[in-house]
Chains A and B, each alone.
Chain A
Amino acid sequence: MKTQQRKTSFFLTFFILFLFWVIFSGKFDSFHLSLGVISCFLVIWITSDLLLVTPDMAKFIRLFMGFTLYIPWLIWQIVLSSIHMIPIILSPEIEKKINPRIIKIKSRVRDEVGLVTFANSITLTPGTITVAANIHGDMTIHAIDDECAASLPGDMGEKIAKLFAD
């Protein structure tokens, strides 16, 4: 990493950590704020190879904007599929309503963070659970019925592929 990039990512990480400090402490006098500055410096100094965020500011801002649009959509999907699960669970003949199976899909996402986001989004949506995923985009998914199995990769895969496309 170049010195300039290192500086940018240092200040970005510091800003994020300090924001969390302020939220969790809730005290704004100089004593607590200076304690926060000292501990943020200590944390960054000790974990500098693990914690520093991506030095590419343009990419960081684009990802941030993408996520602010993606997360409300994901929450809406969670609401829809939770409502889809209600009649299944409450039906008297539950074993007729469900059809659990393991399916394999191929995702276009190649980025590592993108794959983690995709796998976690699939698991967060009730009705589908990611069993395994690898770097080539092959994913194994356990789905509870035909409708949940048919909905993959679908819109979610498209959105994440667009979000992490370079």
Chain B
Amino acid sequence: MTVYISGLLIVGGLFFFLIGSIGMIRLPDFYSRLHAAGIIDTMGLLLSMSGLALLILSDFNLGNILSALKIILIVVFIYLTSPTATHAIVDAGIRAGLKPWSKK
């Protein structure tokens, strides 16, 4: 049963990876593409990593619990560092004088 749930979570994560990648290509400018990148490293990462953690936990023993904890820590650290990196990129764009795309 857990195998099916984790499979569903991983497929959901891959779907959001796909949406984020399509958005990266289709959105009109630098700043709005970062929004699509945000989908990839929040929603896609969260779903696929929780799917993997659940898949490991379907065989329940101490070593697997530690592996699942490490996978959760990957998500925690990405959630801390990814917004910080986004701030740095946006700030660099603003400082360099790149104007955001806007509707006419």
The distance in angstroms between the C-alpha atoms of A132 and B86, with both chains bound, is 11
Q: Interface range on chain B: under 10, 10 to 19, 20 to 34, or 35 or more?
A: 35 or more
Task: Evaluate whether A120 and B31 lie within 8 angstroms (CB atoms) in the complex, with A23-B73, A79-B43, A99-B103 already known.
Answer: no
Whether A120 pairs with B83 at a CB distance below 8 angstroms is yes
Whether A100 pairs with B102 at a CB distance below 8 angstroms is yes
The distance in angstroms between the C-alpha atoms of A86 and B21, with both chains bound, is 12
The distance in angstroms between the C-alpha atoms of A126 and B32, with both chains bound, is 10
CB distance from A32 to the nearest CB of B (A): 13
CB distance from A23 to the nearest CB of B (A): 5
The distance in angstroms between the C-alpha atoms of A23 and B70, with both chains bound, is 7
Neighbouring B residues of A119 by C-beta, 8 Å: 83, 87
Neighbouring A residues of B66 by C-beta, 8 Å: 23, 26
Chain A contact residue count (CB 8 A cutoff): 32
The distance in angstroms between the C-alpha atoms of A131 and B91, with both chains bound, is 6
Nearest B residue (CB) for A140: B94
Among A95, A129, A131, find the residue whose CB has the most chain B CB atoms closer than 10 A.
A129
B interface residues, Cβ below 8 angstroms from A = 16, 19, 22-23, 26-29, 31-32, 34-36, 38-39, 42-43, 46, 63, 66, 69-70, 73, 79-80, 82-84, 86-87, 90-91, 94, 100-103
Q: Which 4 A-B pairs have the closest CB atoms?
A: A123-B83, A82-B43, A89-B23, A120-B83
A interface residues, Cβ below 8 angstroms from B = 23-24, 26, 75, 78-79, 82, 85-86, 89-90, 94-95, 98-102, 119-120, 123-132, 142, 144
